[in-house]
Chain A
Amino acid sequence: MLYACGSNGNGQLGLGDQEDRNTWTLVDIDINDKPLALVGGGNHTVLVDSVGTAYITRDNRFVSVNHPDNKQWKLASATWDSCFLVDDDNSIYEFDISGWRFILIAHLKSSIFSIKSGLSHTVLLADDGLYGWGNSRRGQCGKDELKIDTPEKFNDTIVNPDRFACGKDFTVILKDEELHILGNSRRFGANAISTSSSSVLSSWSSVLLLDELKMLGNNSHGQYEIPIENDEHIDLITLGSEHGLLVSGNSVRTWGWGEHGNCPMPTTIHGVKGVYAGCATSFLFVNEDKT
C-alpha cells in the first residue's frame, strides 16, 4: 500500500484532488510489492512497480504509461519538469509530460544500474561508469559544456550507486576518501571534502554523508536536524527537495522544510518497506501483511 503527504497543487500525490496533505494518506493505486522506483519532479510523480509498469500522475491520479515496444521499465528519475525511464534493454526514454509520450534518448550497450536527476540534469550509472546529460552550465554533468543532449560518459571509476547523487545544480561523487562536488559548489565552500563515508544522498541544496550521518550545504530550514538518537538504527532514509524521511523500527520521522505538510509528526507505522521524497512530497510503501 502506498501512502503520501505534502505538496499537491498539481495532483502529484495521486489522491484524486489538488489539496495538500499533512498526514499520511492512502493512495488509490494497486501495487502489492515494493516499487522499483518512485521519484518526484516539480509537479509530477513517477512510479515503476515491481513488474516494470510505469505510472505518472495526471489529472490527480497515477496513470499507467506503456512502453513503446512493450518492454519492462526498471529505473526512473525526475527533473523539475520532465522524467527519464530506463527499460530492461538499457534504453533510456524521456517522458514528455505535456505531450504525454515517450522520446527515445539513447540505448546503451552496457547495463544501467541507477539513474538520478537534479533540477535540470541527469546522471546514470552503468557497468562501465557514470554518464551525464542535461543542463551542464555549472559543470554538473562532469563536462565543460553548457548543455549535453544525450548521455555522455564522464567517469569510469564509480561502481556503486550509493556513491553518487544529484543536487539542484551539482552532482556529488564519493571517491578516494573525498566527496567531490561537480558543478555549483558554492553552498559547500569547496569542491572536494574529506570523508570516510561510502554512501551519499542529496537534496536540492544539501548533502547527507550517510555513514557519518553528517549533513553539508544549506541549513536554512532545519536540513541538518536528522531526528535520530545515537543508539538508534536507521532502516530506511531518503531526501526530497529540502526535507528528509527516515524509518527506525516502526517509527517514521521527517525533518527539514515541511511547509506543505510533507513533514508530518513522527508516526508509528508497521511494515514500511520503502521511503520516497520529491518536491515537498513524501511517500511510503507499506507491506502490511509482512511485518
Chain B
Amino acid sequence: MNVYDSIEIEDMTFDPIQQAFFYPCPCGDQFAVAIDDLRDGENIATCPSCSLMIEVIFEAEDLENYKE
C-alpha cells in the first residue's frame, strides 16, 4: 500500500461531532479517520475524493486526550 505521507495526530483536526480526525489532502478535500477506527488499531486516513492515504502517527494514550 502506497501511503502518501505520515502525519502526527496532533497536527490533525478533531471534530467532536463526527468523532473523527481530519487533515487537508493535496486534492482539495480532506483525509478522515474515525477515532473508533484508531482505537481498533487502524492507522490509515483516506480521502473521499481521491486515492491518496496518510498514515496517522499516534500512541494509544494520545486518543485519551479526545473525549467523546
Contact = CB atoms under 8 A, between A and B. Distances in A.
B4 interface: yes
Given A169-B11, A259-B51, A280 B2 contact: no
Contact of B26 (A10, A12, A138, A204): A204
B26 A280 contact: yes
The DSSP consensus for interface residues of chain A is: loop
B61 interface: no
B26 A137 contact: no
B5 A10 contact: no
A205 B5 contact: yes
B24 interface: yes
A268 to B, nearest CB: 28
B28 A279 contact: yes
Nearest to B6: A186
Nearest to A256: B26
Interface in B17-49: 24, 26-29, 49
Contacts of A12: 28
Nearest to B51: A259
Contacts of A202: none
A259 B49 CA distance: 10
A241 B3 contact: no
Given A169-B11, A259-B51, A220 B28 contact: no
Contacts of B52: 257, 259
Interface string A115-139: 0000100000000000000000110
A260 B50 contact: yes
B11 A242 contact: no
A205 B3 CA distance: 13
Contacts of A9: 28-29, 49
A9 B25 CA distance: 13
A269 to B, nearest CB: 25
B5 A218 contact: yes
Interface string B1-19: 0111110001100000000
B24 A42 contact: yes
A113 interface: no
Contacts of A101: none
B4 A7 contact: no
A102 interface: no
A47 B49 CA distance: 25
Contacts of A221: 2, 4
Given A204-B26, A257-B52, 10 more contacts: A7-B28, A9-B49, A10-B28, A137-B10, A220-B3, A242-B4, A257-B4, A259-B27, A259-B50, A260-B50
27 contacts: A7-B27, A7-B28, A9-B29, A42-B24, A42-B28, A137-B10, A137-B11, A138-B11, A169-B11, A186-B6, A187-B5, A204-B26, A205-B4, A205-B5, A218-B4, A220-B2, A220-B3, A221-B2, A221-B4, A241-B26, A242-B4, A242-B26, A257-B4, A259-B50, A260-B27, A279-B28, A280-B50
Interface of B: 2-6, 10-11, 24, 26-29, 49-52
